[in-house]
């Protein structure tokens, strides 16, 4: 719609926003009218109309099998559009049109904003299945007529009210028509069933909807007065009411076809099961986060016990082994701490990598500089946990073996996510400018515990590849190539 309006018309951005607001609401008008809607806007030179939006009803057969958006019609070919645009009134005159042996009643509704007519809605009703209307259909049609008059007067849609049509109640979910005093004139069967779910034992017709809704909801003191006002439809609002183990979602639409409120339309939907599932998911998410939090705490306790044990060790090798174990446990704890703060089992690994680098760098404080380049991106927990351990082992190995005691140097961790058109692989490079690999060293056969852990995790759990190579000028380069799930 944006492209069509800007290409063919002289409407301003604020006018375009009004049309967007109208289109976000007009499914209701289409359903209540049992009719197709096409929005026509005059072109910049005023000689044609361009159709910028279309809506088909959920409550009846369509009048248009084809997509009308983008069609251009010369002025004069459709007199009802001309009359509605020029005179600023709803035009219903004329005989039905025949389209592919289907009679169609056409009406034109001017779209007004701040006193100006921006375009015209063509309302097309398929008359092939016309029969004597029921009370429900008569209420639908009367409500549609009131909304059409409000559109023509520029009072609908309601300025500043943005409705999420994906979650908002629709006409078929349940409809209640109120008079100016908030008394129910008509309630659809679905609406009545929803109120029975709340605990209503009688009929809704003749009841004051605001008062009966407040009585069915749990007592909340002063809030009851606000609930009475909301459910009476005095203002355009969307809200929920819970009672008797049931939850209904309501949307109030004041009806002012001639400027004065004559009543309200209340759309409602029973969302009891939906809210129950949402609560279950919230409880499940909270439980998972709590589990991650407790695992993190337990791992930190294990790390603290290992530190205490290391301080009591007389053997330097034993103390170093326990310190390495502390760092391994710490790397796993970092992942669980991050997961305990997320709503899903995916983590932003860059933060974890930075914390692992800082933790391992404590081996040689102030002597060897560790830094990270590139982004790891978002990873699944099943990848993040073993990868944090792999990164810990590779960094420990570099800091312990690449530099002599007291020697200064640099360790750089680089991450590249994917290739030109995919991010399904993660390439990690850890480079140092230390002494390099011993002569004849084979990383695939080395018996070092840390390298054994790296090989097992990378090739076994992560399904990737691992290699250690001499640096370009000096030092060592570790290359990890790991498959990961796309972020898209």
Confidence of residue 421 (pLDDT cuts 50, 70, 90): very low
Q: Give CA separation, 430 vs 405, 469, 482, in Å.
A: 21, 10, 14
- Give DSSP secondary structure letters for 324-347: HHHHHHHHHHHHHHHHTT-SSSEE
- 54: pLDDT strictly greater than 80: yes
Among 80-89, 244-253, 287-296, 475-484, the minimum mean pLDDT is found in 287-296
Q: Extract the tokens encoding 259.
A: 């400027």
Mean pLDDT of 53-65: 92
- 447: pLDDT strictly greater than 70: no
- 188: pLDDT strictly greater than 90: yes
Is 389 buried (19+), middle (13-18) or exposed (0-12) by CB count in 10 A?
buried
Parallel, antiparallel or unpaired: strands 97-99 and 72-74: unpaired
CA-CA distance, 120 to 108, in Å (whole number)? 6
Read off the pLDDT of residues 359-385 as tens digits, 9 standing for 90 and up.
888 876 667 888 899 999 888 888 988
Read off the pLDDT of residues 88-107 as tens digits, 9 standing for 90 and up.
999 987 788 888 788 999 99
- 487: pLDDT strictly greater than 60: no
- 47: pLDDT strictly greater than 60: yes
Helix 349-361 vs helix 381-401: angle between axes, to the nearest 10 degrees? 30
Q: Give CA separation, 106 vs 71, 89, 207, 257, in Å.
A: 17, 14, 37, 20
Among 139-143, 286-290, 316-320, the minimum mean pLDDT is found in 286-290
Confidence of residue 420 (pLDDT cuts 50, 70, 90): very low
- Name, in order, each residue with C-beta under 8 angstroms of 439's C-beta and a sequence gap of 6 or more: none
Most confident option among 84-88, 96-100, 227-231: 84-88
Q: Give CA separation, 93 vs 29, 84, 108, 142, in Å.
A: 20, 11, 9, 18
CA-CA distance, 396 to 307, in Å (whole number)? 17
- Name, in order, each residue with C-beta under 8 angstroms of 26's C-beta and a sequence gap of 6 or more: 37, 55, 121
Mean pLDDT of 201-221: 86
CA-CA distance, 214 to 226, in Å (whole number)? 9
Q: Look at residues 399, 388, 325 and name the one whose alpha carbon lies nearest to residue 352.
A: 388
Read off the pLDDT of residues 326-366 as tens digits, 9 standing for 90 and up.
888 888 888 888 888 876 778 889 989 998 888 888 876 66
């Amino acid at each position: 719609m944006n492209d069509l309006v800007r290409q063919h018309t002289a409407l301003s951005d604020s006018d375009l926003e009004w049309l967007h607001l109208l289109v976000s609401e007009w499914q209701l008008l289409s359903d209540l009218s049992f009719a197709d809607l096409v929005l026509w806007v005059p072109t910049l030179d005023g000689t044609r109309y361009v159709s910028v939006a279309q809506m088909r009803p959920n409550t009846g057969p369509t009048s248009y099998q084809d997509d009308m958006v983008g069609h251009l019609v010369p002025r004069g070919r459709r007199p009802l559009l001309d009359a509605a645009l020029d005179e600023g009134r709803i035009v219903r005159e004329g005989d039905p049109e025949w389209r592919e042996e289907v009679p169609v009643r056409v009406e034109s509704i001017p779209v007004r904003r701040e006193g100006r007519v921006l375009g015209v809605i063509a309302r097309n009703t398929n008359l092939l299945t016309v029969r004597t209307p029921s009370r429900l259909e008569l209420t639908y049609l009367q409500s549609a007529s009131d909304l059409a008059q409000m559109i023509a007067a520029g009072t609908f849609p309601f300025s500043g009210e943005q409705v999420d049509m994906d979650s908002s109640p629709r006409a078929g979910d349940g409809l209640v028509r109120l008079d100016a005093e908030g008394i129910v004139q008509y309630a659809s069967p679905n609406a009545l069933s929803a109120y029975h779910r709340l605990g209503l034992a009688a009929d809704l017709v003749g009841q004051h909807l605001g008062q009966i809704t407040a009585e069915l909801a749990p007592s909340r003191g002063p809030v009851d007065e606000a609930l009475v006002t909301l459910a009476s439809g005095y203002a355009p609002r969307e809200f929920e009411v819970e009672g008797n183990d049931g939850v209904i979602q309501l949307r109030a639409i004041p009806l002012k076809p001639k400027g004065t409120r004559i009543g309200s339309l209340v759309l409602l939907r029973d969302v009891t099961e939906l809210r129950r599932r949402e609560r279950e998911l919230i409880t499940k998410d909270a439980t998972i986060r709590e589990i991650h939090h407790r695992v993190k705490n337990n791992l930190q306790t294990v790390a603290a016990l290992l530190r205490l044990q290391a301080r009591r060790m007389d053997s330097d090798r034993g103390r170093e082994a326990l310190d390495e174990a502390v760092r391994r446990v710490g790397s796993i704890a970092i992942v669980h701490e991050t997961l305990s703060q997320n709503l899903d089992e995916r983590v932003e690994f860059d933060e974890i990598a930075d914390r692992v680098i800082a933790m391992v760098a404590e081996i040689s404080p102030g002597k060897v500089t560790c830094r990270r380049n590139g982004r790891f991106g978002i990873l699944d927990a099943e990848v993040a946990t073993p990868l944090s351990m792999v990164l810990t082992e590779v960094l420990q190995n570099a800091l312990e073996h690449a530099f002599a005691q007291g020697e200064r140097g640099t360790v750089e961790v680089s991450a590249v996510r994917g290739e030109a058109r995919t991010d399904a692989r993660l390439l990690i490079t850890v480079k140092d400018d230390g002494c390099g690999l011993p002569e004849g060293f084979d990383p695939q056969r080395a018996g070092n515990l840390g390298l054994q852990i790296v090989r097992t995790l990378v090739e076994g759990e992560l399904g990737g590849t691992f290699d250690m190579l001499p640096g370009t000028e000096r030092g060592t380069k570790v290359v990890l190539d790991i498959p990961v799930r796309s972020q898209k």
